[in-house]
Structure 1
């Protein structure tokens, strides 16, 4: 019953997000090597969360970046008509993955992607320069619990994230399949400049200058 109630809450949250505009997050911060923020984040987060996110252990900057990408993608896909062909089942997997990640990090359930994503990107950028104090300021309570330095510590100790690994891999494979079969609605997605996107690589770069 508890699992069923959680699924209903997640589906309700997903429906609410579909009625909103995509979060205004700088594409360059999410995926520096991609002209499309959604695709770039998908491409980068799948390898980041591979093997239950084992590679993120003791790597708080990379964990913050991957968490920002998952938050962004989960919110953006239901709102962006270009990604309408993504199946509902994969969207549900993403909602479960986001909840798993929020539980591990201590992100408030009612926090919006517009608040969470920039905060995580700012923390990732600060940590890459070794500035833990600035990273702590980027993760304030009550958006993050307990917030500050302890939330920075939690980025390095998220633990296994099996749902994030499952959801990100399923999504990456589905996008590759839709590319290969040319099954995007009204043609394939275009980037922010209106240029046709013709490939979906399996590599990724989670670097950011934010």
Structure 2
């Protein structure tokens, strides 16, 4: 059976770095396709359309809604207006052929479980100490052409609620991967877990 391995964690826990590293991991190369979702938020520096996200707009979202192709969606009321993130099935998700690697929130994970089933959806939860996470978030934001410090703080605080212990338990997450030290250790642990789940070692 093919799977969707779904990376989750609070902001600045290293999800994007881990996601990219796993897709390029020597042992996993060719075994996982990226599960690319859509967003209406602006592109960050170094992001490319169709790689991190499909950068879209609210009209495209409405069109996909009307055609019944939305699997899950969520909206964040940011200081810059609403930012939508959504997963759509436009025929690009072929579980009969491939396993996938995705990235998102607990809320999106639960909706994907409802759509694809528990046997398909495999959570990969990344955990980082809040102090380390805040330092990383600030460092990342300073690199942006126009830093959005207010949005960074809003997201940091919102994560405390969105990723509460109760929410994590309700989502059925039992295993966690710590990223408090060298990120390579976390990546290696995630890769080994995926290989075992796929029946390889």
**TM-score, normalised via structure 2 length:** 0.30
Q: Which one has a larger percent helix, Structure 1 or Structure 2?
A: 1
Larger % of strand: which? 2
TM-score of the pair, normalised by structure 1: 0.29
